[in-house]
Amino acid sequence: MSDQFLEDFVKQNLFPLVVPINYDTLKLLKDDERKIVLMIVDDVEDEKSKVLIKILRAAASANRDLVFGYVGVKQWEDFAETFEVYKETKLPKMFVWDGNEEYSTVIGSESIDEQDQGSQIMHLLEGYREGSVIHKQVSGPTFMGFIHSVLRIRTLYIVVFVGAVIAFFLIITKEEPLTVGTRDHVDHASSSSTSQGESKEAHRFGEKED
């Protein structure tokens, strides 16, 4: 029992109170079995979003059995769209995500207004724990699908870079023998011309002697 408590304690304190959702944090979260309270804003760099993130951090400190995360549409639009967040969607939007294919919106707390945001977040958490939710499926790639898609993009960049480096060295190694060969040819031609010139001069000198 104590070992399980220690394991849960370590997991709950492995991440900061509020986690910015990106490729790297998704990889870390894949082994965490806790549900993710996810907030989607328009832009995480916006001042209003920063204030809301601070409020979210306060709620997270009292609910360590959940992971709290946030992401901006401007920072990762494709990810946001998998949760039916589009240009006309009212933001900020909050829901509870299982980290894979399913997420739950709390009835009456689908979005957060500007007034008394702390109470709205607490109401969302209470509604979730009471089961007042609507279960939905993500509309795009699954959790692992995001990791694999980003991994493929990074792999493609690496392959292109390595290919460019190899091509560059091939061009260099191909040109060097050609340059050396040309110099040898020029040197040989110059020495031949010099020899021919000397022979002609010697021949003329012999004629004068006669």
Return the pLDDT at 161: 75
Domain boundaries, the chain: 1-140, 142-173
pLDDT (0 to 100) of residue 168: 74
8 A C-beta contact, residue 110 and residue 39: no
Distances (CA, A) of 100 to 26, 96, 158, 168, 171: 10, 11, 28, 43, 47
Give the Cα separation of 145 and 128 in Å (integer): 26
pLDDT the model gives residue 108: 93
Q: What is the pLDDT of residue 133?
A: 97
pTM of the complete model beyond 0.95: no
Retrieve residue 142's tokens: 């699954």
For 101, the token pair is 């294919």
Residue 89: closest CA among 143, 144, 139: 139
**Answer CATH for 1-140 from 3.40.30.10, 3.40.50.300, 3.90.400.10, 3.40.50.720:** 3.40.30.10
Q: Mean pLDDT by 10-residue block, N- to C-terminus, for the chain (210 residues)?
A: 53 76 89 93 96 95 95 94 91 95 94 94 96 90 53 62 77 62 50 50 48
pLDDT at 134: 96
Give me the pLDDT at residue 2, please.
56
- Report the C-alpha gap between 132 and 137 in whole angstroms: 17
Cα gap 67→132, rounded to integer Å: 19
pLDDT of residue 69: 96
CB 9 within 8 A of CB 15: no
Residue 195 and residue 183: Cα distance in Å, rounded?
A: 18
Alpha-carbon distance of 50 to 46, in angstroms, equals: 6
Q: What are phi and psi of 69, to 5 degrees?
A: -140, 165
